[in-house]
Structure 1
Amino acid sequence: MKLKEIAHSRTGDKGNISNISLIVFNEEDYKIIEEKVTAQRVKEWFKDIVQGEVKRYELPKIGALNFVMDKALGGGVTRSLAIDKHGKSLSSALLEIDI
């Protein structure tokens, strides 16, 4: 099953840091993402993009995980040559992980 079947996501950015919030549709699915979607797994998923550390923050009361990815936007919005300079599509890419 892909993450997109049990969760949705949002992305934000500041400079060269991108964060992705992963939010379950149903509260009972939180334990699944808590177990299966680790910071290491996200770092490996984005290994060609994220050059820095990935930190995971847990928000169980709202059924969400937040991943902060350092050095993820090619130097930042004003320095990157990437088509998606803000990294908004990273949230959609994360939802393609098989769990």
Structure 2
Amino acid sequence: MFSNAIKFTEPNGRVLIQLFENDKNIVVEVCDNGMGIKDKDLPFIFERLYRGDISRQQIEGNGIGLTIVKNILQLHNAVMDVESKEGNGSKFTIYFAKNEASK
């Protein structure tokens, strides 16, 4: 996620990482103003080896990073949400459920 935000954002672009908590979750947000993801590609970005359109093929990578992230998050009972618009960047949000027993 972090490396993708940097990789798909132009020089002098913006990548913002925020960590905060709400009533139920610890939340991590990674926002960028990079190239964004096409609507037709969004449903597939967590599939192994999926790389999207031709323009993304020119950027180094093998298409397994988000698959690995999703699997690791599932092992920790975390959930990830993605919002993106082509040309306007992306926002990946991870929700880690707070452990009520640790309070």
The two structures have a TM-score, normalised by structure 2, of: 0.41
The two structures have a TM-score, normalised by structure 1, of: 0.42
Q: Which structure's CA Rg is the greater one?
A: 2
